[in-house]
Amino acid sequence: MTVTDLQALAERAGRELEEAPAPEILRWAAETFGERFCVTSSMEDAVVAHLASRALPGVDVVFLDTGYHFPETIGTRDAVAAVMDVNVITLTPRASVAEQDAAHGPRLHDRDPDLCCALRKVEPLERGLAAYDAWATGLRRDESPTRAGTPVVGWDERRRKVKVSPIARWTQEDVDAYIAEHGVLANPLLMDGYASVGCAPCTRRIAAGEDARAGRWSGLAKTECGLHG
């Protein structure tokens, strides 16, 4: 399929599947792309991986190991790999944290988080996604104003791939209910005051009334890591 075909397919599917339940969106992705489809997961929870494994058993679940994750996040990844019918693929940056410190100075995340995310998230993901035509994310419209317009299926112009967000229309209550009903793995930090889990240096607990992503890059204007821009 050409890039033009993929883009037209994404835009049509975004319209046709807007009201569809998440399992139907993932069935469409599995039937359309097969092994050229993967799920990306931050290991905040395994909801989309669980949904996708039902549509495409053994589906590739891509995880970015930035070198800065909480131990709980690495533990969640290992548990997902052990108990779910998925193929977890861990992507790593070209440089270790020590090598990055040597090249750019320590704590780049405090001084230039955009560069740190570009080196530790954006570049590895672009490399990792080269093998796929379509990727699924757990983005939800209710997470933050920057995500309010997320289509259930859209065109990722930057990577020239189809981007599937099967739970875009879900609320946090929907996620919690799915986790409870299916016993889906979730990061233990979600039970410890964190509403969104990223790299340890750039994530804090949130206070009552804050939106779910307020604990990410707290105090900085930055709200996204560049993966979804």
CB of 225 to ligand SF4, least distance (A): 5
Q: What does the alpha-carbon distance between residue 71 and residue 3 come to, in Å, rounded to a whole number?
A: 39
Annotated binding residues, written as ranges, equal 116-117, 199, 202
165 binds ligand SF4 (CB under 6 A): no
- Determine whether 225 is an active site residue: yes
Q: How many residues does the chain have?
A: 229
Sequence-ordered list of residues with C-beta below 8 angstroms from that of 108, at least 6 positions apart, any chain: 100, 101, 115, 116, 119
Annotated binding residues for [4Fe-4S] cluster, written as ranges, equal 116-117, 199, 202
198 binds ligand SF4 (CB under 6 A): yes
What is the CB neighbour count within 10 angstroms for residue 210?
A: 12
Rule CB under 6 A: which of 64-93 touch ligand SF4? 66, 68
CB nearer to ligand SF4: give 40 or 53.
40
CB nearer to ligand SF4: give 113 or 138.
113
Considering the candidates 9, 129, 225, 227, report the single residue annotated as catalytic: 225
Q: Which residues pair with 153 in a beta bridge?
A: 164
Task: Pick the piece of the chain touching ligand SF4 (CB under 6 A) from 26-34, 51-59, 128-136, 195-203.
Answer: 195-203
Q: Which residues pair with 59 in a beta bridge?
A: 86
| Short-list 168, 166, 165, 164, CA closest to 142 | 168
CB of 101 to ligand SF4, least distance (A): 12
Sheet holding 59-64, edge to edge: 86-91, 59-64, 37-40, 134-136, 161-164, 153-156
Q: How many residues bind ligand SF4, per CB under 6 A?
A: 13
Is residue 148 packed enough to be buried (19+ CB in 10 Å), middle (13-18) or exposed (0-12)?
exposed
CB of 182 to ligand SF4, least distance (A): 29
For binding to ligand SF4 (CB under 6 A), which residues are involved?
A: 66, 68, 109, 113, 116-117, 120-121, 198-199, 201-202, 225
> Which residues belong to the active site?
225
